[in-house]
Amino acid sequence: MKLSRSWLATAATVSGVCALEASYDYIIVGGGTAGSALATRLSLGLPQAKILLVEAGPSALDELRINVPGLRGSILGSGYDWNFTTVPQGSLGGRVIDVNRGKVLGGSSAMNYLCYDRASAPEYDAWRELGSPGWGWKTMIAAMTKSENFTGPEDGDRHGRRGPIRNYYNRVLYPIIRAWQPTVAALGINVNDGGSLSGAPVGVMFQPTNINVDKRTRSYAANSYLPLAGSNLEVLTNTQVTKVNLAKRGKKPSCATGVTLPNGTVIRASKEVILSAGSVQSPGLLELSGIGQSRVLQAAGITPHIDLPGVGENYQDHIRVSNTYRLKDGVESFDNLIFDNAGANATGEMQKWLTGERSLYEYTTAAYGFMNWGQLGVAGAMKAAAASVVQSTNVVDAKKLQYLNNAQVPSVEILYEANYVGAAGYTGGRFLTLISTVMQPFARGSVHINPSNPQGKPVIDPRFASNEYDIKGLVEAAKFSRRIAHTEPMRSAWEAETEPGEAVQTDAQWRTFATGALGSFYHPVGTCAMLPLKDGGVVDADLKVYGVANLRVVDNSIIPIIPSAHIQTAAYGIAEVAAEKIIAAHAGSSKSENACNCK
Ligand SMILES: Cc1cc2nc3c(=O)[nH]c(=O)nc-3n(C[C@H](O)[C@H](O)[C@H](O)COP(=O)(O)OP(=O)(O)OC[C@H]3O[C@@H](n4cnc5c(N)ncnc54)[C@H](O)[C@@H]3O)c2cc1C
Ligand SMILES: *[C@@H]1O[C@H](CO)[C@@H](O)[C@H](O)[C@H]1NC(C)=O
Ligand SMILES: *[C@@H]1O[C@H](CO)[C@@H](O)[C@H](O)[C@H]1NC(C)=O
Ligand SMILES: *[C@@H]1O[C@H](CO)[C@@H](O)[C@H](O)[C@H]1NC(C)=O
Ligand SMILES: *[C@@H]1O[C@H](CO)[C@@H](O)[C@H](O)[C@H]1NC(C)=O
């Protein structure tokens, strides 16, 4: 690939004269996780095609806050973060929740916490069962392992070993982290080491992390996929696409002719435009282009072209809450490397990282538990809560209800960290944290452009904890986290629970704590859902936007129903599947079939 500098030499100076405009076969909007992977695969698979990848943020390949695994989290709220927030959440007393997203080449894969895992097989099969032929576990596991290069001995699990994204099991583990499996197993949970990536994640285990074992750097879309691309891929950074341009073709579906940049420059696409701007911004780009709910478009003063009610709806995200425990004297933690990073120990460890020695800055999340409600002893109560909130006319809700009868599908995740990750704020000391997450909350919210500033920050309303199942689930998961903390050998490591604190005992107190401490787990999906049109779908099984011949969405916004996992593997998998589809379509098409004639 080449970072574009001189492309404008061929770009439009006289509007309406197509021959003078910069032109590509494919334009991909958003050089994030899926967009960078897709651009690379198209470049390799279609060596004759000219491909442009446009990213709003900069390239930051030398940025230590991205590259050093242990500095994960440090670019949240920085210039590499879009800094979105939700609207005030009614069920959280009007609190506003941060919605962090990467604004940098590599997108949120540059910002994420390097948890590398997969959901259960039935959850990928659900995509097909909800109406998208060809999708499912078989398709996605092939695609996800195609993107992966795992380093480590055969452990019986499913790992790719030839793909771009490097991963391995953490080699830096604090002694307290080793207490994880024996502690959780003492509560009757199965140990699932070496089996959790094969579509059956229920249990307690260590999981891999996406680090390049040779360089000890984060392995992400910008430094692991893009360098593989050919010179037929141009990458334009620091450029936020304002809209997709559409043209009519008689009575046939509309078609995309290219994109417009903030300064009015038009770039043409002779084959396809692909949106990979992520779950928060891909729906907004459709709206800015005249595709979406007419009410939303009209309020923003945008001429509606295609009425597509599903755009920006069906927003789903994981909700989480943390229990934190102050460690006893002498128990080591990672806290000083985060909160005292100018101290002697941290600077010494950073020096080791920089000179290639084994460093504590390689530490990332290692210890996971994925459980169903039965394992927590609350299956009946949670099913009853679900039955009370499910909307029988909604196919996504109905599928989530089915999951509750399938023991292979986790309902809860608990993450175990050797440092403080609480909501109250760090006030010194060493901690362990248990992060409790509801895997399939029933809240379905929305994201739409802001009518008073359509190009600005979108209006995000996830409706967090707006129903009984979601809030009860969070409370039950956090109560179970307390049981874990009180079980040996973990119990011997800490001296006090600081969040929520032992004063919290009744369900009413737990609810107050949970609504006050709830955060997003950064996994929004579903806002350009791959579903039938009648069920609120935005794209079909080929990821094509309904009503437009040559406009696709390829990112996590197409996931119709939130999976029980961290979802970067899904983003890479979706990009791999999409690349195969686009390459196959290219081979089967004549030039006139796909191209829109200049208007
Ligand atoms: C803080 C955080 C922690 C996370 N931790 C984990 C984890 O540990 N493990 C895990 O599996 N998942 C994790 N995730 C989730 C995972 O990283 C994301 O779901 C995934 O990266 C999303 O990929 P995407 O391609 O859908 O979107 P993104 O990677 O966000 O890509 C969208 C890209 O589009 C660009 N863009 C947007 N609008 C425009 C425009 N108009 N013009 C040009 N460019 C535009 C953006 O700048 C961005 O680069 C985390 C996410 C966050 C934010
Ligand atoms: C996000 O907020 C921080 C802190 O206010 C700011 O420095 C940064 O520039 C913001 N990011 C963007 C992309 O504007
Ligand atoms: C996969 O990772 C190993 C290091 O473990 C490396 O030697 C190898 O070159 C990588 N393969 C590819 C295809 O990148
Ligand atoms: C328009 O924006 C592009 C992309 O950011 C930039 O390269 C170009 O110089 C701008 N063109 C004009 C005419 O300002
Ligand atoms: C930092 O502290 C840890 C103990 O918590 C120790 O193992 C490590 O060697 C120290 N590193 C440096 C560079 O002092």
Q: Which atom of ligand 4 lies at the shortest distance from residue 261's CA? A: 2
- Domain assignment present for residue 289? The answer is yes
Residue ID of nearest Cα to ligand 3 atom 13: 162
Total count of domains within the chain: 1
Indicate whether 7 pLDDT > 70: no
Q: How far is the CA of 565 from the centre of ligand 5 (A)?
A: 33
Residue 278: domain span:
21-61+222-313+527-594
Which pLDDT does position 391 carry in this prediction?
Answer: 80
- Of 246, 307, 233, the closest CA to residue 273 belongs to 246
| pLDDT tens digit sequence for 439-449 | 999 999 999 99
Indicate whether 18 pLDDT > 60: no
Q: How far is the CA of 82 from the centre of ligand 2 (A)?
A: 7
Average pLDDT value for the chain: 94
**DSSP state, 209?**
B
Indicate whether 374 pLDDT > 80: yes
Indicate whether 556 pLDDT > 50: yes
- Domain assignment present for residue 246? The answer is yes
Residue 252's pLDDT band, with cuts at 50, 70 and 90, is low
Indicate whether 595 pLDDT > 60: no
- Domain assignment present for residue 265? The answer is yes
- Domain assignment present for residue 49? The answer is yes
Place of tokens 């579509």: 199
Tell me, yes or no, if 566 is annotated catalytic: yes
* Signed CA dihedral, 453, 106, 541, 123: sign only: negative
Q: How far apart are CA 560 and CA 396, in angstroms?
A: 7
Indicate whether 293 pLDDT > 60: yes
Which pLDDT does position 114 carry in this prediction?
Answer: 98
Tell me, yes or no, if 586 is annotated catalytic: no
Rounded to an integer, the average pLDDT of 143-165 is: 97
Q: Which two tokens mark 329?
A: 């004297």
Task: State the ligand closest to the CA atom of 74.
Answer: 1
Residue 15's pLDDT band, with cuts at 50, 70 and 90, is very low
CATH number of the domain enclosing 237: 3.50.50.60
Rounded to an integer, the average pLDDT of 182-187 is: 98
Rounded to an integer, the average pLDDT of 115-141 is: 98
- Domain assignment present for residue 147? The answer is no
Indicate whether 20 pLDDT > 80: no
Q: How far is CA 530 from CA 215, 277, 373, in A?
A: 37, 16, 28
Which pLDDT does position 14 carry in this prediction?
Answer: 33
- State yes or no: 204 annotated in a binding site: no
Which pLDDT does position 89 carry in this prediction?
Answer: 98
Residue 21's pLDDT band, with cuts at 50, 70 and 90, is low
Residue ID of nearest Cα to ligand 5 atom 2: 345
Residue 22's pLDDT band, with cuts at 50, 70 and 90, is confident
- Domain assignment present for residue 550? The answer is yes
Q: How far is the CA of 220 from the centre of ligand 5 (A)?
A: 28
**pLDDT cut 90: percent of the chain above it:** 92
- State yes or no: 202 annotated in a binding site: no
Residue to probe by mutation, ligand 5, list 337, 345, 362, most atoms within 8 Å of CB:
345
SS3 574: helix
Q: Which of 358-367, 389-398, 445-454, 474-483 has the lowest mean pLDDT?
A: 389-398
- Domain assignment present for residue 556? The answer is yes
Which pLDDT does position 592 carry in this prediction?
Answer: 45
**DSSP state, 246?**
E
Indicate whether 139 pLDDT > 90: yes
332 lines ligand 5 (CB under 6 A): yes
**pLDDT cut 70: percent of the chain above it:** 94
Which pLDDT does position 10 carry in this prediction?
Answer: 40
Q: How far is the CA of 101 from the centre of ligand 3 (A)?
A: 29
Q: Which of 213-217, 227-231, 238-242, 591-595 has the lowest mean pLDDT?
A: 591-595
Contact 353, 64 (CB under 8 A): no
Q: Which two tokens mark 439?
A: 């895997």
Q: Which residue ranges have their beta carbon within 6 Å of ligand 1?
A: 29-35, 54-57, 76, 100-103, 107-109, 111-115, 240-241, 276-279, 281, 285, 522-523, 555-556, 566-569, 571
Residues in the chain, total = 599
DSSP character string of 149-181: EE-S---SS---BSSSEEEB--S---GGGGGHH
Q: Where are the alpha helices (DSSP H) in 230-389?
A: 278-288, 294-299, 335-339, 344-354, 373-376, 379-389
347 lines ligand 5 (CB under 6 A): no
Q: How far is CA 16 from CA 11, 13, 19, 266, 310, in A?
A: 12, 9, 9, 9, 33
Task: State the ligand closest to the CA atom of 228.
Answer: 3
Helices 121-129 and 395-403: angle between axes, nearest 10 degrees: 150
- Domain assignment present for residue 287? The answer is yes
From the candidates 305, 318, 448, 566, which is the catalytic residue?
566
Rounded to an integer, the average pLDDT of 529-540 is: 98
Indicate whether 13 pLDDT > 60: no
